[in-house]
Structure 1
Amino acid sequence: MSDYAFVPGGSLKFKGQGEKKKKKKSHSSSDRAKASDEINIKLKEKERVTRASGSASGEEETDAVAREGSPSRRERRRRDGGEDHMTEAERRFLETQKKRREQRVKEMAKKTHKERVQELNAKLDSLSEHHDLPKIGPG
């Protein structure tokens, strides 16, 4: 009986869990300020480079970059010279896909849930017995 007299309390301890986890170091506001200063310096350098090249559209782009932080995808494409890097066939394919998606949404919006359930039941009734689930076991 004396062997069972001592009952330790608390949760179970697992191997290797005795070490305490290190806390993540929080970043101070001075670190954030340094990072924002570096970004501003890079933006000013880009602005100087575009002004040196004499591009009037480059100044507009750097103004947009300064406002937004980084150029958007559309602006980069415009700068590179081409609006899109897709072929005509790819554009047509995407347009037809978009039209079909819109048509499906319109069709789904026309029908109520009850009508959709009735359509599904009618379709299942028209299928052959081959698609029925077989009965397994007695009964």
Structure 2
Amino acid sequence: MPSPYTYKTGGALRLKGDGKTRKKKAKAPSAGRPASEVKAPSQPQSGASTHVRGTTKVEQQFEKVQREKLREEVRREARKSHVEKVKSFNTYLERLSDHHDMPKIGPG
């Protein structure tokens, strides 16, 4: 019976999405062929489904609200002086639990 430590895995590491179904790059039209014969890469080929998804009204409204919140927060922080920023940071650190404290290592 072989030892469990002698087992070797076969083959190389396979990564997700590393298949043989890679898309080919579109070639630039050659000088010998007229442009009317060359298919544009933006046109979908027959049988191939290309689904372009836009954002919905709800997603647009959500992004708008998020941008407004971010702008308001930036405005609030911009009004603070350095001393106020340090005080607010210290109060934030005081509210954290002891789990986040740096352990004491070494003499001292």
TM, length-normalised to structure 1: 0.35
Q: Comparing both structures, which one devotes a greater share of its residues to helix?
A: 1
- Answer with 1 or 2: which has the greater Rg: 1
TM, length-normalised to structure 2: 0.44
